[in-house]
Amino acid sequence: MKTNEQNKSPEADYVIDLTKLHGSGEFPCPGCGNEISPKDDKDKNYQILQPQVEDGTNEVTSILIQCRCKKTLRLKCRRKNKIF
Ligand SMILES: [Zn+2]
């Protein structure tokens, strides 16, 4: 088990910038390679821990999720991008 210093943030193991992804936004978990698709939360590959809504709006700007490998990932998304 090694910790990733480069991508570390105070609250998540990894930070994923969804605005830099193509397609529908799926990406492999950096920890285990598990494919995570933000649009499909039915298969329970991950768990949404905390959607973060910008003050004064209803727009979700980042979301903390936990992969099935127990790594936490912060997903940054564009404003008005209603992927979740
Ligand atoms: Zn994982």
d(CA 78, ligand 1 centre) in Å: 23
Question: What is residue 19's three-state secondary structure?
Answer: helix
Asked if residue 8 has pLDDT above 50, the reply is: no
The answer to whether residues 15 and 74 touch, using CB atoms and an 8 Å cutoff, is: yes
Question: Tens of pLDDT along 17-74?
Answer: 988 887 777 899 999 999 888 666 566 789 888 777 777 777 778 888 999 999 999 9
d(CA 55, ligand 1 centre) in Å: 30
The pTM score is: 0.68
In whole angstroms, give the CA distance from residue 17 to residue 44.
21
d(CA 32, ligand 1 centre) in Å: 4
Mean pLDDT over 73-82 rounds to 71
d(CA 60, ligand 1 centre) in Å: 22
